Structure 1
């Protein structure tokens, strides 16, 4: 699906460039470097929804987001990124809009973990948890190498 930003957005998991995804997540993402390539492949294979951003000419994947969901009322947003060479073009906002507002989960309760993109997600209605939310943290502190974040 052509985007308003001069790139293509595609929800086909078969189009995701696992090598590029793995390279970014293992080298640049603070939130899940503990995962192996096989872990990332398994997460991709079992994702409820994925959205990739692709350059129309080269078809190179330059951004990605995935979600897990019960398919009815709840979704968790994970592994959102735009390649650093392509930032500053509004692609992060466009990616989140395609994933959340233009997808089948637009009426769901969405959750995510982030240490550095609060302003981006507030634009889409994310806010601090309400009193009904509880969380059992993973075995390692969030945001640390080896943390159980996705």
Structure 2
């Protein structure tokens, strides 16, 4: 996938990913700021990844974990602070949920602060049906 929008390009080409920029993005996030670097690298290797670029500079990122048949999990969505408020996050999410690979699949995600963004794309709260399992290392990170 490669979508040009204004001066930005959204691409699923992993060779374009700026892993240092992604690590920087995630180190500033509330959900992954304590994630060990090796886990981030493994997550990138084993997920569908999408970068947002202005020229050669990566300004956004998202990962999708999926079986391509029934569901996808959207995660690690991040737009560089200097580029927020320009509609880039909206365009990134819209591009992902409408692409052929995901448009007919159940979508899942977790967010603490972007509910209104995702509601625009038909994501709904469903706290009564879903459970999660937290491995010890994640529980320990939350305590520190």
TM above 0.5: yes
- Specify the SS of the correspondent of 2:141: coil
TM-score (norm 1): 0.85
Q: Is the 8 A contact 1:82 1:91 kept in 2?
A: yes
Aligned pair count?
Answer: 140
The CA deviation at 1:139 is 4.5
Residues 1-150 of structure 1 aligned to structure 2 (within 5 Å): 1-26=2-27, 28-47=28-47, 49-56=48-55, 59-129=56-126, 131=128, 133-139=129-135, 146-147=141-142
Could you tell me which runs of 5 or more consecutive residues in structure 2 were left unpaired when the two chains were aligned: none
Q: 1: distance between equivalents of 2:77 and 2:26?
A: 10
Change (3 A) 1:124 1:30: same
Structure possessing the higher relative contact order (Cα contacts under 8 Å, 6 or more residues apart): 1
Judging by fraction of residues, say which structure has more strand: 2
Instruction: Give 4+ residue runs of structure 1 displaced > 6 Å after superposition.
Output: none
Q: Deviations over 1:71-112 (max 9, x none)?
A: 211110000011010111100000001111124111110101
Q: Is the 8 A contact 1:52 1:61 kept in 2?
A: yes
- Specify the SS of the correspondent of 2:42: helix
TM-score (norm 2): 0.88
Q: 2: distance between equivalents of 1:145 and 1:119?
A: 30
Q: 1: distance between equivalents of 2:127 and 2:39?
A: 31
Q: 2: distance between equivalents of 1:121 and 1:68?
A: 17
